[in-house]
Structure 1
């Protein structure tokens, strides 16, 4: 009851390397639990800095009661504390850093702390690939366009590979050409035929599947014809697409109320047009077959990111880490274990 464990980033990454199908399953199950109202997922809380408006640290509290405990038999609560500092990339430092704290749901006592930038990236990637599968309708695509050559798109490519997706070609675009070359090289190492594009338009043109994973703070894809009818678009960075283009597309979100805030592309579209009519539904509804999307417009998946996903993935990684001896015990972490 009073044990406390720590799992560092290298151990977390090692577990992810061998557990991507299991993580994908946990994310899928947790989305379905969330859809049926079995999770507790309050609003995220944003700590912002007046002198650095693009930087933020976000708290994502959540709980998975026992009946929503995908991949486990007991409920748990917890919080992810994740910093997003886009200026880091100028120094070749990852934008995001995070920790995940897990709490026992019966006593409230925390029992584990995990390095969570890797967990966050993994659950984001699993969510993206789940969206791709159900928007696109298969695990095959002739051309995939990757826009934004960072940690998140790298993880998404790795999850595609782990889940046996087949691509005719992968083309990568980034405003920093060297990052695009490295990303294409990584895709090549995974066995995909990969290249870079000189412009975003060139990358997206003719792509069956578009992955948007940039650090953009405001929309820059504004041309009404920038995305093609029937094209499946993973709006992972959430702020690349202009409101007019959002309103002219099919839109699937992970949680509608969560996603319509913080200046996301769907949020901007609701603010501009004053309605939600362009939102078709949630990813869980798509998985359950309760939602059908036509091919007359682009199909866009915008996942805001749910704390319950971090809990489910964190528990899966902690379980595997315990089995492989990659979790450190912290003796006497709690100074008082009796009231008297």
Structure 2
């Protein structure tokens, strides 16, 4: 019996310009997409293996990371993000990170799209943090009105955009960066984006930034902790610890801590991982963002609250599939004719 021949799979390439066109102004939908992916992950309807790090002996600050994943539910897709981080790029005028993402058909495994993914990665990172900030602040019964940004790159800009889209209105914005030039550039962006009614202050000292903020955003490229005094956090701020390695274990251990995935977050020298190594346990963790979303845990108002998101590949896939569907629905997919060639088993 001759097996039925399936339709030849198509393969599409979606550019960064197309990704930006879909995501710009769609922050609410992206946050909802990320929340749905977190809920699928919490319900064990995803597969999210460990990330794989390609490192270079002659460039210890640089790396390229592979994040394979699979998402069930309505997303129903497999795939992988391949993202590089070369901090030296910034000095030459290039962004630090660049990325592509491949989507695979859940039924036959064939890749069907390759998307520029640095924008997707920034959007899912910002949406994750904004979602956490929104739900945690609601649970605490207080909405932050003073935000401080520790680090002023692309991720910080996306975080500000997504916080605003999630309903945060700040009376004051603080900025701290090791580079005065970068701090000045981000300050200019903030004044354009937030308007004249918002006070923007550049802080030379990290302590001053933290003490003046009830929402602290870490978006740096730090490889090891550089904030070690728990006394800076006695006003009980909400901390979005997006860059994962800024806080010393002493700060982590005095805070109420949530992560997006415990096993993923507590490895590779992250601040929570260092806290685990110091104490020999994970008792300092209250739980995950999924636990916050479902009401299983409630963040307190009388302690610092730290959310440390590892950044799961399932989020990238969910946002990438959202982009793919929107581009397909507009009829603007750029397919590569004949991309798959050897499709007959015996020629």
Q: Residue in 1 aligned with 2:303? A: 297
Q: Residue in 2 aligned with 1:37? A: 44
Q: Offset of 1:245 from its aligned partner? A: 0.9
Q: Offset of 1:180 from its aligned partner? A: 1.3
Q: Residue in 2 aligned with 1:246? A: 252
Alignment deviations for residues 113-165 of structure 1 (CA, whole Å, 9 cap, x no partner) = 00001100000000010111122227942200011000101001111222332
- Decide which of 182, 187, 200 is 1:184's aligned counterpart: 187
**Tell me, what secondary structure is at the counterpart of 1:322?**
helix
Q: Residue in 1 aligned with 2:162? A: 159
Q: Residue in 2 aligned with 1:328? A: 334
**How big is the alpha-carbon RMSD for the aligned residues of Structure 1 and Structure 2?**
1.5
**Tell me, what secondary structure is at the counterpart of 1:18?**
coil
Alignment deviations for residues 206-236 of structure 1 (CA, whole Å, 9 cap, x no partner) = 3110000001111000112122342100000
1:314 matched to 2:320? The reply is: yes
Distance 2:111 2:125 in 1: 24
**Tell me, what secondary structure is at the counterpart of 2:144?**
strand
TM-score, scaled relative to structure 1: 0.94
Please list, as runs of the form range in 1=range in 2, the aligned pairs for 1:43-122 lying within 5 A after superposition: 43-65=50-72, 68-69=73-74, 72=75, 75-122=76-123
Please list, as runs of the form range in 1=range in 2, the aligned pairs for 1:258-277 lying within 5 A after superposition: 258-277=264-283
Tell which deviates more after alignment, 6-15 or 122-131. Answer: 6-15
1:286 matched to 2:292? The reply is: yes
**1:326–1:180 distance in 2 versus 1, CA, 3 Å:** farther
**Are the counterparts in 2 of residues 139 and 164 from structure 1 also a CA contact under 8 Å?**
no
Between the two proteins, the alignment pairs up a number of residues equal to: 334
Please list, as runs of the form range in 1=range in 2, the aligned pairs for 1:126-145 lying within 5 A after superposition: 126-137=127-138, 140-145=143-148
**Tell me, what secondary structure is at the counterpart of 1:166?**
coil
Distance 1:11 1:86 in 2: 26
**Tell me, what secondary structure is at the counterpart of 2:170?**
strand
Distance 2:335 2:26 in 1: 22
Q: Residue in 2 aligned with 1:211? A: 217
Larger radius of gyration: 2
Q: Offset of 1:195 from its aligned partner? A: 2.9
**Are the counterparts in 2 of residues 209 and 232 from structure 1 also a CA contact under 8 Å?**
yes
**Tell me, what secondary structure is at the counterpart of 1:211?**
strand
**Tell me, what secondary structure is at the counterpart of 1:204?**
helix
Gaps of 5+ in 1: none
Q: Offset of 1:78 from its aligned partner? A: 0.1
**Are the counterparts in 2 of residues 181 and 195 from structure 1 also a CA contact under 8 Å?**
no
Alignment deviations for residues 242-279 of structure 1 (CA, whole Å, 9 cap, x no partner) = 01111111110000000011111000111111111110
TM-score, scaled relative to structure 2: 0.92
Distance 1:325 1:171 in 2: 43
Q: Residue in 2 aligned with 1:196? A: 202
1:12 matched to 2:19? The reply is: yes
Distance 1:120 1:41 in 2: 16
**Are the counterparts in 2 of residues 5 and 327 from structure 1 also a CA contact under 8 Å?**
yes
Tell which deviates more after alignment, 225-234 or 250-259. Answer: 225-234
Tell which deviates more after alignment, 139-148 or 21-30. Answer: 139-148
- Decide which of 214, 221, 226 is 2:227's aligned counterpart: 221
